[in-house]
């Protein structure tokens, strides 16, 4: 196998591992494209250093490239040479255009959906005893105050929901209240959208600041009703 | 020969690897760009783009033919549930918005369905003022973020004019001393068309949103169904009881920009020149 084929294969394998294998390793996450590109560049540089340590290996590596570009009698590769010589400038041009062209898309938004709560809310526990009666009361309050947006089925599809961006949370979705502690919900309901930190983009949220309208005890009951109605359990730290 | 090669070829290979690398990574990077929020199923747009027109702006004509040259953007509306007094159902479900500008003035056309024409029917457009973010509900204070004011352009059927206002929190709505906004409505076939117009820059950056061709600004919409209850005389929607939208984006389009093509042409020329020099050097090296 020629060294050029080796280099290409090495890069392809590295790319596949970084893109598809590594993110599946427990505790890992998908790699940003810029980082993958950097790793491929490092792989290539390393290979080039190895390929040029001796005059012999250098010739082995560069020789075929040189023959491809200027050698005579390369047969069918002659056409490929022209393709490469035409395609390369076009690629450079296309790359330049796409990196300088003015974007038509509105700015992207990276809203943090569950930002950290203020310290005073961490570790609060629900003071209301969990009984069928209190859960039922909570569901009643939920129906009156929350369901217009969060939906009678706790799915975020209330009749008033459709115009809001971000949309009202869907409590049946396992990535919402099932990932959160009751104290977190207490903070979110009490302080509402305007209580979010800057990474939560508070200026976009329609969630009311319920502390102005509901007593704390009702809020704790609503939380119990929400978990029960959405068939979820609060996250706990055991 | 090898000496000549060793100086040039690494550049070629690195260049080629860069090009190939970009090709591989570009689609991946595109995937990673944060997607515009798309909450509701009916959500069609996230921005209004107002083209530059050469002739006269239809600033007081909501039915002018030129409006059809502006791309429509549709935004879902919700009843105002954020703050008492709430309404849990609102007449206006969707707002279709178009924009045009002539480099000096901007015109924004709202179009929506309302089954009845009433004197108290009203509509409004809202913007953030300055660099600070403002909450979409009248710029009300936020606990952890210092917010800015909102600029509201308001029109009511029976008044037949635009009103230029500011707010920074509920109950702080204030009519500006200098009125820069014009508005006109036309009702036909169960639909309102309301056009608002204003200079792009009013010279009052503390109170008015500055509209430039430089980029996107935030925009929101509201509509009131002023239908009167025949028995009680109560208006169906008034004050905080209205249909509202979230924040979306608006921009006045810049004149066509061809610099991207120029840069691309220069890059192609450079790449061709590089190839030419490279092959000449390689050939020289071969014959030497």
Q: What would the pLDDT profile of B112-164 be if each residue is shown by its tens digit? A: 999 999 999 999 999 999 999 999 999 999 999 999 999 999 999 999 999 99
Do A70 and A132 lie in one domain? The reply is no
Q: What percent of chain B has pLDDT over 70?
A: 84
Distance CA(A50)–CA(A57), nearest Å, equals 8
Domain count, chain A: 2
Nearest to B71, CA basis, from B101, B90, B48: B48
Percentage helix, strand, coil, to 5, in chain B? 25, 30, 50
In a domain, A234, yes or no: no
Do B204 and B178 meet the contact criterion of CB atoms below 8 Å apart?
yes
Do A59 and A130 lie in one domain? The reply is no
Distance CA(A129)–CA(A116), nearest Å, equals 26
* CB of B7 less than 8 A from some CB of A: no
Distance CA(B228)–CA(A19), nearest Å, equals 61
Is pLDDT above 70 for A110?
Answer: yes
Could A65 and B24 be called an inter-chain contact, meaning their C-beta atoms sit closer than 8 Å?
no
Distance CA(A167)–CA(B29), nearest Å, equals 26
In a domain, A46, yes or no: yes
Give the per-residue pLDDT at A62.
Answer: 85
| Largest pairwise CA distance in chain A | 91
In a domain, A183, yes or no: yes
Do A123 and A64 lie in one domain? The reply is no
* CB of A92 less than 8 A from some CB of B: yes
Which among A32, A40, A88 is the nearest to B21, CB-wise? Answer: A40
* CB of B8 less than 8 A from some CB of A: no
Give A41→chain B minimum CA distance, Å.
8
Nearest to A159, CA basis, from A144, A146, A171, A149: A149
Do A171 and A157 meet the contact criterion of CB atoms below 8 Å apart?
no
Do B162 and B171 meet the contact criterion of CB atoms below 8 Å apart?
no
In a domain, A100, yes or no: no
Give B43→chain A minimum CA distance, Å.
8
Do A221 and A153 lie in one domain? The reply is yes
B157-179 burial, b if ≥16 CB within 10 A, otherwise e? Answer: beeeebbbbbbbbbeeeeebeee
Distance CA(B258)–CA(A102), nearest Å, equals 10
Give B250→chain A minimum CA distance, Å.
9
The backbone torsions φ and ψ at residue B102, rounded to the nearest 5 degrees and listed phi first, read -120, 15
- Domain boundary, last residue among A61, A84, A107: A84
Give the per-residue pLDDT at B188.
Answer: 97
Could B25 and A33 be called an inter-chain contact, meaning their C-beta atoms sit closer than 8 Å?
yes
**Of chain B residues 241-270, which have a CB less than 8 A from chain A?**
243-249, 251, 254, 257, 259-261, 263-268, 270
Contacts A–B by Cβ distance under 8 A: 208
What CATH number is given to the structural domain containing A130? 1.10.760.10
In a domain, A236, yes or no: no
Distance CA(A189)–CA(A211), nearest Å, equals 8
Residue range B57-83: average pLDDT? 96
A chain contacts of residue B215, beta-carbon cutoff 8 Å: 107
Is pLDDT above 90 for B95?
Answer: yes
- Domain boundary, last residue among A84, A107, A130: A84
Do A3 and A57 meet the contact criterion of CB atoms below 8 Å apart?
yes
Which class does domain B47-252 fall in?
mainly beta
ipTM: 0.78
**Of chain A residues 36-75, which have a CB less than 8 A from chain B?**
36-37, 40-41, 44, 48, 52, 55, 58-59, 62, 65-66, 69-71
Do A145 and A208 lie in one domain? The reply is yes
Give the per-residue pLDDT at B110.
Answer: 98
Is pLDDT above 60 for A159?
Answer: yes
Give the per-residue pLDDT at B2.
Answer: 47
Give B265→chain A minimum CA distance, Å.
6
Is pLDDT above 70 for B278?
Answer: yes
Written as one string, the DSSP assignment of B35-99 is PPP--STT---SEEEE-B-SS---TT-TT-GGGGGSPPEEEE-EE--SSSSP-S--S--EEEEEE
Q: How many CB atoms lie within 10 A of CB B104?
A: 9
Distance CA(B169)–CA(A176), nearest Å, equals 30
Give the per-residue pLDDT at B28.
Answer: 45
Give the per-residue pLDDT at A76.
Answer: 81
Count of CA atoms in the C-beta half-sphere (13 A) of A7: 23
The backbone torsions φ and ψ at residue B152, rounded to the nearest 5 degrees and listed phi first, read -115, 130
In a domain, A99, yes or no: no
What pLDDT band is residue B34 in, cutting at 50, 70 and 90? very low
Do A76 and A132 lie in one domain? The reply is no
Give the per-residue pLDDT at B15.
Answer: 55
In a domain, A178, yes or no: yes
Helix (H, G, I), strand (E, B) or coil at A58: helix
A101-119 burial, b if ≥16 CB within 10 A, otherwise e? Answer: eeeeebeeeeeeeeeebee
Length in residues, chain B? 288
Q: Which residue of B has its CA nearest to A166?
A: B39
* CB of A119 less than 8 A from some CB of B: no
* CB of A111 less than 8 A from some CB of B: yes
Residue range B222-243: average pLDDT? 95
**Of chain B residues 20-79, which have a CB less than 8 A from chain A?**
21-26, 28-29, 32-37, 39-43, 46-47, 49, 75-79
- The domain locations on chain B are 2-32+262-287, 47-252
First-to-last CA distance in chain A? 56
Distance CA(A18)–CA(A1), nearest Å, equals 24
In a domain, A184, yes or no: yes
Helical spans, DSSP H, in chain A: 3-16, 33-51, 55-70, 77-100, 132-141, 147-150, 182-191, 216-229
Could A88 and B88 be called an inter-chain contact, meaning their C-beta atoms sit closer than 8 Å?
no
Residue range A103-128: average pLDDT? 89
Domain range spanning residue A19?
3-84
pLDDT digits (tens, 9 = 90+) for A36-80: 999 999 999 999 999 888 888 888 888 888 888 888 878 888 889
Do A76 and A140 lie in one domain? The reply is no
Residue range B180-203: average pLDDT? 97
- Domain boundary, last residue among A84, A111, A127: A84
Could A48 and B10 be called an inter-chain contact, meaning their C-beta atoms sit closer than 8 Å?
yes
Do A158 and A77 lie in one domain? The reply is no
Give the per-residue pLDDT at A1.
Answer: 72
Which sign does the torsion angle of CA B170, B137, B251, B58 carry? negative
Length in residues, chain A? 238
Q: What percent of chain B has pLDDT over 90?
A: 77
Burial grade of B246 (CB within 10 A; 0-12, 13-18, 19 or more): buried
Strand partners, B243: B79, B223
A chain contacts of residue B82, beta-carbon cutoff 8 Å: 193, 206-208
Residue range A105-130: average pLDDT? 91
A chain contacts of residue B266, beta-carbon cutoff 8 Å: 96
Is pLDDT above 80 for B13?
Answer: no
Give the per-residue pLDDT at B258.
Answer: 85
**Of chain A residues 183-202, which have a CB less than 8 A from chain B?**
191, 193-198, 201-202
């Amino acid at each position: 196998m020629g060294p050029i084929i080796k280099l290409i294969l090495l890069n392809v394998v590295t790319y596949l591992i970084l893109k598809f294998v590594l993110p599946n390793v427990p505790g890992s996450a998908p790699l940003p494209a810029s980082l993958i590109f950097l790793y491929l560049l490092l792989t290539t540089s390393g290979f080039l250093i190895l390929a040029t340590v001796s005059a012999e290996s250098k010739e082995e590596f560069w020789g075929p490239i040189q023959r491809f570009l200027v050698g005579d009698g390369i047969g069918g590769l002659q056409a490929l040479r022209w393709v490469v010589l035409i395609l390369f400038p076009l690629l450079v041009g296309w790359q330049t255009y796409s990196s300088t062209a003015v974007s038509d898309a509105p700015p992207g938004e990276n809203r943090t959906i569950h930002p950290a709560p203020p310290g005073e809310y961490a570790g609060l526990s629900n003071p209301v005893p969990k009984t069928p009666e209190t859960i039922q009361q909570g569901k009643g309050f939920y129906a009156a105050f929350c369901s217009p947006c969060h939906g009678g089925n706790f799915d975020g599809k209330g009749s008033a929901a459709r115009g809001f961006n971000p949309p009202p949370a869907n409590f049946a979705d396992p990535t919402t209240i099932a990932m959160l502690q009751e104290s977190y919900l207490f903070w979110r309901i009490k302080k509402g959208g305007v209580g979010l930190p800057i990474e939560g983009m508070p200026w976009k949220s329609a969630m009311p600041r319920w502390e102005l309208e509901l007593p704390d005890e009702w809020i704790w009951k609503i939380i119990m009703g929400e978990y029960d109605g959405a068939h979820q359990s609060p996250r706990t730290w055991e | 020969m090898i000496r000549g090669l060793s100086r040039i070829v690494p550049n070629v290979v690195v260049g080629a690897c860069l090009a190939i690398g970009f090709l591989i990574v570009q689609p991946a990077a595109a995937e990673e760009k944060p997607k515009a929020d798309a909450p509701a199923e009916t959500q069609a747009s996230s921005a209004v783009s107002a083209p530059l027109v050469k002739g006269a702006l239809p600033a007081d004509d909501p039915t002018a033919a030129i409006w059809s040259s502006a791309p429509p953007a549709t935004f879902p509306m919700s009843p105002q549930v954020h703050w008492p007094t709430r309404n849990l159902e609102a007449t206006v479900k969707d707002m279709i918005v178009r924009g045009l500008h002539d480099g000096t003035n901007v015109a924004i056309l709202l179009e929506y369905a309302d089954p009845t024409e009433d004197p108290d029917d009203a509509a409004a457009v809202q913007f953030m003022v300055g660099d600070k973010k403002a909450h979409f509900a009248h710029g009300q204070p936020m606990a952890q973020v210092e917010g800015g004011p909102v600029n509201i352009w308001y029109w009511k059927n029976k008044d037949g004019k635009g009103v230029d206002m500011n707010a920074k929190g509920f109950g702080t709505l204030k009519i500006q001393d200098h009125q820069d906004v014009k508005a006109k409505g036309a009702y036909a076939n169960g639909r309102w068309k309301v056009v608002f117009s204003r200079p792009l820059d009013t010279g009052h950056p503390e109170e008015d949103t500055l509209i430039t061709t430089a980029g996107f600004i935030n925009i929101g919409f509201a509509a009131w169904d002023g239908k009167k209850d025949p028995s009680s005389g109560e208006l169906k929607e008034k004050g905080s009881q209205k249909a509202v939208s979230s924040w979306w984006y608006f921009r006045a389009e810049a004149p066509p920009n061809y610099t991207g093509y120029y840069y691309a042409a220069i890059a192609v020329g450079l790449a061709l020149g590089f190839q030419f020099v490279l092959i000449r050097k390689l050939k020289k090296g071969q014959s030497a």
